[in-house]
Structure 1
Amino acid sequence: MKALGIILAGGNSNRMRELTTRRAIAAMPIHGSFRCIDFTLSNMANSHIQKVAVLTQYNARSLHEHLNSSKWWDFGRKQGGLYTFTPTVTPDNSWWYQGTADAMYQNIEFLRRCHEPYVIIASGDCVYKLDYNKVLDYHIEKKADVTVVCKDMPADMDISRFGVVKMNEDSRIIEFEEKPMVSRSNTISTGIYVLRRRQLIEMLERCHEEGRSDFVNDILIRYKNMKQIYGYKIDTYWSNIASVQAYYETNMAFLKPEVRRYFKEDPKIHSKIDDLPPAKYNEGSEVRNSLIASGCIINSKVENSVLFKKVFVGKNCVIKNSIILNDVYIGDNTHIENCIVESRGTLKANTYYSGGDGIKVVLENNERYSI
């Protein structure tokens, strides 16, 4: 592969509410046994990108634990490999990353030491499959300065949290608005970019000299009339999880057979493996249209839900339209509906949780063994 990869995984979103008080968005569990960053890392590995840098910052401990062995994504190699970069205090700088462009600038020596002619920049908070080779071939064919991977969203969808683009008949981006209140287009940027390494270095240096820090606002939007910026459209599954509602909908999408089949097909998504026994269904359990991960013990009714690893469900419980994260203990006679239950929580017996028409985030840190 003629490119190196950069994964931006250091941000936080208030839209995630309590779910990111313990972890980065990129470390959020997905589909029972994955983390969100697994999808971007697997896309990099499946596209034969041999050198990938992950830029972390906010609540990065669990993300670093997940990435501490790069062999799961085939990055345990002599040439290239997986690199993680966090903000570092130096004699010249003691700031956290001020934005996406500043995050890359603070690690610009990594870019300078590399020899790959191209860079693929991607976000760590999206769920999708993509062959970056096709995007790179398109980028070279168009003789583009920057290529932005785009997707047409449904007309009734709120796209105010995305970058919205408008392209001409040759797919050149002529308008780019970041998180507009009202948009004249339903085509969004997926946060995946391709450009030459030397050009990226020049842009980051100039951005730093001018006191600017954001890659989208201070580079893409600022240069849209000066540089050849093209859009590459995808029509396959893509989701950004950076809100409670989007996170809930993304996990629920895996209950659809066509979505599960799509992600099970080659090339596959890889993740760090835990040695856990298969899920156990005891007498009295009734499971319908749900995903149950390894290590779970089920004694009750589960419907239209996703249960992550090591969840215990007591007797006479009802779990419906909910997401139960890792290592949750649910006591007897508990009712959970339209909820996301935070990991390692203990829900006491005879309790009731409901999100009503919305999604309720449940945090119960009761001491498990004193009940």
Structure 2
Amino acid sequence: MKALGIILAGGNNYRMRELSEKRAIAAMPVGGGFRAIDFALSNMSNSHIQRVAVLTQYNSRSLNEHLNSSKWWDFGRKQGGLYIFTPTITAENGNWYRGTADALAQNIDFLKRSHEPYVIVAGGDCVYKLDYNKVLDYHIQKKADITIVCKDVPMTEDVSRFGVVQMNEESRIVDFEEKPMVAQSHTVSTGIYVLRRRQLIEMLEKSMQEHRFDFVTDILIRYKNLKQIYGYKLENYWSNIASVESYYQTNMDFLKPEIRNYFFHQEPYIYSKVDDLAPAKYNTGAEVRNSLVASGCIINGTVENSVLFKQVFVGKNCVIKNSIILNDVYIGDNTHIENCIVESRDTICANTYLCGEDEVKIVRGHNERYIM
């Protein structure tokens, strides 16, 4: 592969509310057994990109633990590898990453020491499959300076949290608005970019000289009339999980047979760190309908239209509907949970009623099993 991969996984988003208080968004569990960053990493691996850097910062402990071995995504090669970069205090710099461009610039030595002619930059908070080779071929064919992977979203979807682009007949981007109040288009940037490595280095050095720190506003939007910036349309499934509503809906999408088949059974596959856990156990009285139940779970009650992640215990006479139960949750007997996201490592006491009515309810408690 003629490209180097960089995954931006250091940011936080207030739209995730309490869910991002204990982990980075890129470390959010998705689809029963994955983390959000697994999709970008798997796409890199499946596209035969041998060198991938992940830039982490906010609440990165669980994310770094997940990335402690590159073997799960097959990056353990002599000529490549998976590199984890966090903000580093030096004699010249004592700042955290002040934006996406600054994150890249603080690790510019990695770019300068690499030999690949192109760079693919992607976020760690999106669920999708993509062959980056096709995007790179398109980039070269168009003789583009920058190529942005774009996605048409439904007219009913709120695009105010995305970068919104407008393209002409030749797919050249003629306008780019970042998080507009009123959108003129429903074609959004997926946060995936392709450009030449040397050009990226030049743009980053210029931005840092001018104290500009954001990749979108200070590079893409600023250069939209000076550089040949093209859009590549992504036709298959794509979702950004960086809000509670989109995170909930993305996990609910995995209950649809066509989505499960696309991600679980169609090549190329999505890879993740594997835990040695027993298969899910369904005891007498358990009833499960249209749900995903991960390894290590023990079910004694009723689960319907829900996603249960690893090592969830559901007590007797429990009812769980339209909910997401994250890893290692203990749910006591006679509990009713509906339209909720239950935070990981929680203990839900017996005889509890939890229901999200106007919006998805986030349930956070104490893990009483570990309290002395």
Q: Could you state the TM-score of these two structures normalised by the residue count of structure 2? A: 0.99
Q: What amino acid does structure 2 have at the position aligned with 1:320?
A: K
SS at match of 1:245: helix
Aligned-residue offset at 1:357: 2.8
Instruction: Map residues 248-287 of structure 1 onto 2, 5 A cutoff.
Output: 248-264=248-264, 265-287=266-288
SS at match of 1:326: coil
Tell me, in whole angstroms, the C-alpha distance in 2 between the residues paired with 1:238 and 1:339.
Answer: 23
What does residue 324 of structure 2 align with? 323
1:70 aligns with 2:48: no
SS at match of 1:165: strand
Q: What amino acid does structure 2 have at the position aligned with 1:322?
A: S
SS at match of 2:103: helix
What does residue 43 of structure 1 align with? 43
1:172 aligns with 2:150: no
What does residue 123 of structure 2 align with? 123
The worse-fitting range, judged by mean Cα deviation, of 218-227 and 356-365 is 356-365
1:314 aligns with 2:335: no
Listed as ranges, the gaps of 5+ residues in structure 2 are: none
SS at match of 1:227: coil
Encode CA deviations 1:55-99: one digit per residue, 9 max, x unaligned.
000000100000000000000111110000000001111100000
Aligned-residue offset at 1:367: 1.2
What does residue 153 of structure 1 align with? 153
What does residue 292 of structure 1 align with? 293
Tell me, in whole angstroms, the C-alpha distance in 2 between the residues paired with 1:355 and 1:221.
Answer: 39
What does residue 368 of structure 1 align with? 369
Q: What amino acid does structure 1 have at the position aligned with 2:325?
A: I
Q: What amino acid does structure 1 have at the position aligned with 2:163?
A: G
Distance 1:334 1:137, change over 3 A: same
Q: What amino acid does structure 2 have at the position aligned with 1:260?
A: R
1:212 aligns with 2:212: yes
Q: What amino acid does structure 2 have at the position aligned with 1:301?
A: T
SS at match of 2:147: strand
Q: What amino acid does structure 1 have at the position aligned with 2:357?
A: G
What does residue 141 of structure 1 align with? 141
1:29 aligns with 2:36: no
SS at match of 1:262: helix
Tell me, in whole angstroms, the C-alpha distance in 1 between the residues paired with 2:245 and 2:184.
Answer: 24
Q: What amino acid does structure 2 have at the position aligned with 1:38?
A: D
Distance 1:102 1:332, change over 3 A: same
Aligned-residue offset at 1:369: 6.7
SS at match of 1:72: helix
Aligned-residue offset at 1:235: 1.0
| Percent pairwise identity | 76
Tell me, in whole angstroms, the C-alpha distance in 1 between the residues paired with 2:76 and 2:206.
Answer: 34
Tell me, in whole angstroms, the C-alpha distance in 1 between the residues paired with 2:188 and 2:72.
Answer: 31
Give the number of aligned pairs: 371
Tell me, in whole angstroms, the C-alpha distance in 2 between the residues paired with 1:154 and 1:30.
Answer: 22
Tell me, in whole angstroms, the C-alpha distance in 2 between the residues paired with 1:102 and 1:370.
Answer: 41
Tell me, in whole angstroms, the C-alpha distance in 1 between the residues paired with 2:162 and 2:141.
Answer: 27
SS at match of 2:345: coil
Aligned-residue offset at 1:275: 0.3
Encode CA deviations 1:138-168: one digit per residue, 9 max, x unaligned.
0000000000000101011100000000000
Encode CA deviations 1:103-162: one digit per residue, 9 max, x unaligned.
000000000000000000000000000000000000000000000000101011100000
Any conservation in 1 of the 2:345–2:367 contact (CA below 8 Å)? Answer: no
What does residue 199 of structure 1 align with? 199
Tell me, in whole angstroms, the C-alpha distance in 1 between the residues paired with 2:9 and 2:81.
Answer: 17
Q: What amino acid does structure 2 have at the position aligned with 1:337?
A: E
What does residue 224 of structure 1 align with? 224
1:11 aligns with 2:49: no
SS at match of 1:224: coil
Let me know the Cα RMSD of the aligned residues.
Answer: 0.9
Encode CA deviations 1:159-187: one digit per residue, 9 max, x unaligned.
00000000000000000000000011000
What does residue 335 of structure 2 align with? 334
Distance 1:180 1:316, change over 3 A: same
